Structure 1
Amino acid sequence: MPLVPAKDCSNLPVRKDNRIVNKAAYTVMGINLDGYKEILGIWIGENESASFWLGVCNDLRNRGVEDILIACKDGLSGFSEAISTVYPNTEIQLCVIHQIRNSMRYVPYKEQKEIMADLKEVYQAVTLEGAEQAFQSFKNKWGKKHPVIVRSWENNWIELTTYFSYPYEVRKVIYTTNVVEGYHRQLRKVTKTKTAYPSDESLKKIIYLATMEAGKKWSMPIRDWKKCISQMAIHFGDRLNLESAL
């Protein structure tokens, strides 16, 4: 499995012990060796944790996912620890778009345009060294006024910058989890019509049926896939068998 744009979730009402609770339907999307999107599983849970994601990763391995080259995630609690335990060679990319959205939460409207332009210099840099220089300039300019933003980027820097190891074709696939969010928007069109689901299993069934319908549109590999897979073959070497991909 070359790529796993990792989970997104939809929070939905489910009946439990004669009351209605909000539960999250988590899905994991993968991109296989031929460049096609696949939904690898659906999990229902009330909260995220390292143990929850460890169970998800073990479930993936038990069902035949032998290796994951790159995992793309948003801000998942415990996900990095879990996937590093089950798939220790997987490279993890934190969604840059989510990071930017989270950063903008702390910025007054009149400063947002300028800060966005400065952050763009960071995440659209040509090289990692260029990104580091741009971030240092950002830190010098905004560090005193917005220390929370700077600290968040510093704390997540390693996972935010994984994509700089790859050429443009691969970068544009892995720097964001928007492809998974698009799939979840399709799910919400189906699930929003129900006031509450009688059980976890009924929720899984409706998501499964909606996924089968969405999957009918996934009839082509992702754009520039052959360029992506050729680059990854060099980067990952013997871990990637291209016999079924080219």
Structure 2
Amino acid sequence: MSDPIVSFDEALRSAASRIEEEADDLIKADRYERTVEREAYRAGHYERGLTTTSGQITLKMPKLKGTRFATAIIERCRRRETSVEEAMIEMYLAGVPTGRIEDVSEILWGASVSAATASNLSEKAFEAVEERRSRPLTRSYPHVFVDGIYLKRSWGGAFENVAVMAAIGVNDDGYREVIGAAEGFTESSECWREFLSWLKSRGLSGARMLAGDKAAVMTGAIAEVFPDAAYQRCTAHFYRNALSKVPKSKRGQAAAMLKAIHSQESLEASMERAAGVAEKLEGMKLQAAAKCVRDGVAETLTYTRFPMRHWRRIRANNAIERLNREIRRRTRVVGTFLDGRSALMLVTARLKYVADSERGSRRYLDVSLLDE
């Protein structure tokens, strides 16, 4: 027969009994007992409200004369159970606006939270987020994906678009990690150089390939900071650039031709296919698209240097593009940020939430294949 389920009332009575026992231990005497070792006296009780995951409860806390009573069950001045505060912080990191947190807490626990409480909880969340953002990188990350996203914030008295640059690394066990996020005024060469140097100063090592979109400032910074790492241009961005030079009526055919380049079994076969695609595009009088293929296809085939089982996941920047959509969804609620810290912290908080979810617990690549 299974053990009986302890009711909420029984748990509450147990907590009250433990509080009374703690008071007796502090006084060093039982109720009404007269001893030489007595250090304080009882002076009745006062009621203290506490929000728990089971709702709002009221506890009778002992009043003492001669000493201050502090129980190990409930911290001093705490009005909510720790699990309730953790749930509120998780709601905030998950993208629930502070106004909605008040409504949800009223429904779930029968007690609302003030704007000051929500602000204090967000500060707690940001402390943990900043600690994670600046943590040392002690592992090896053979594959790194980098990208930037623009947000609107106040800058020098005006509202400007500023870039938040993010990086995802696949560690030596094959799992994805958000390894960095930082703000830059624009995606300039200097900003990318500072961002990549910051990652390197925190311990980023073992990078064999960095993937990103086509930006001369980015590729130049990668070559300068990580000279031994190869650069992979995102194939999806390559398709987008080439198809922008194709009339809408011919984009379906051109897209199929471009995708055939990256479905080949080797670098040589892909280059041969690319030459054929460029000739066909020229025959269709699409010289601009053909030039785009000839000039840019080589940097989209860096992935062929690595094991074939990795190709599908490292030839595009999809891993970080998905994060960008999450960032955009969360920051769209705010609109325009008042300062860079609030923008960066909210973005990093969202990245932390996504990394700690199921996505971060699934193996992305079999990195052991790199040693074969």
1:197 to 330, 337, 351: 337
Per-residue CA deviations over 1:91-142 (Å, capped at 9, x if unaligned) read 1110011100111111112211111122122111111121122112112211
CA 1:213–1:62: 2 relative to 1, 3 Å: same
Higher RCO, Cα 8 Å, sep 6+: 1
Matched letter for residue 211 of structure 1: L
The CA deviation at 1:50 is 2.2
Per-residue CA deviations over 1:167-216 (Å, capped at 9, x if unaligned) read 33210121100110111111122110113111111111111211221112
Quote the residue 2:174 is aligned against.
35
The CA deviation at 1:69 is 1.0
Matched letter for residue 193 of structure 1: V
The CA deviation at 1:45 is 2.0
> Given the alignment of the two structures, is residue 128 of structure 1 paired with residue 267 of structure 2, yes or no?
yes
Normalised TM-score (structure 1) = 0.87
Quote the residue 1:233 is aligned against.
371
Matched letter for residue 309 of structure 2: E
Quote the residue 1:153 is aligned against.
293
After TM superposition, the structure 1 = structure 2 runs for residues 166-205 of structure 1, keeping only pairs within 5 Å, are 166-205=306-345
Q: Distance in 2 between matches of 1:16 and 1:54?
A: 22
Deviates more, 1:92-101 or 1:204-213: 204-213
Quote the residue 2:8 is aligned against.
none
Give the conservation status (yes or no) of the 8 Å contact 2:279–2:290: no
> Given the alignment of the two structures, is residue 5 of structure 1 paired with residue 145 of structure 2, yes or no?
yes
Quote the residue 1:238 is aligned against.
none
Quote the residue 1:72 is aligned against.
211
Q: Distance in 1 between matches of 2:205 and 2:271?
A: 34
Q: Distance in 1 between matches of 2:271 and 2:319?
A: 27
Matched letter for residue 324 of structure 2: H
Q: Distance in 2 between matches of 1:27 and 1:206?
A: 13
Structure 2 residue runs without a partner (length 5+): 1-140
Q: Distance in 2 between matches of 1:138 and 1:195?
A: 43
Matched letter for residue 222 of structure 1: R
2:276 to 137, 146, 154: 137
After TM superposition, the structure 1 = structure 2 runs for residues 15-34 of structure 1, keeping only pairs within 5 Å, are 15-34=154-173
Matched letter for residue 231 of structure 1: L
Which structure has the larger Rg? 2
Give the conservation status (yes or no) of the 8 Å contact 2:337–2:343: yes
Deviates more, 1:180-189 or 1:48-57: 48-57
What is the DSSP-based 3-state SS (H/G/I as helix, E as strand, rest coil) of the residue aligned with 1:154?
helix
Number of aligned residues? 230
Give the conservation status (yes or no) of the 8 Å contact 2:278–2:294: no
After TM superposition, the structure 1 = structure 2 runs for residues 98-113 of structure 1, keeping only pairs within 5 Å, are 98-113=237-252
> Given the alignment of the two structures, is residue 88 of structure 1 paired with residue 227 of structure 2, yes or no?
yes
Give the conservation status (yes or no) of the 8 Å contact 1:49–1:77: no
> Given the alignment of the two structures, is residue 216 of structure 1 paired with residue 353 of structure 2, yes or no?
no
What is the DSSP-based 3-state SS (H/G/I as helix, E as strand, rest coil) of the residue aligned with 1:6?
strand
Q: Distance in 1 between matches of 2:277 and 2:229?
A: 30
What is the DSSP-based 3-state SS (H/G/I as helix, E as strand, rest coil) of the residue aligned with 1:78?
helix
The CA deviation at 1:39 is 1.5
CA 1:41–1:179: 2 relative to 1, 3 Å: same
Quote the residue 2:54 is aligned against.
none
Per-residue CA deviations over 1:65-113 (Å, capped at 9, x if unaligned) read 1231111111223122211222111011100111001111111122111
Normalised TM-score (structure 2) = 0.59
Q: Distance in 1 between matches of 2:188 and 2:152?
A: 20
Q: Distance in 2 between matches of 1:78 and 1:60?
A: 17
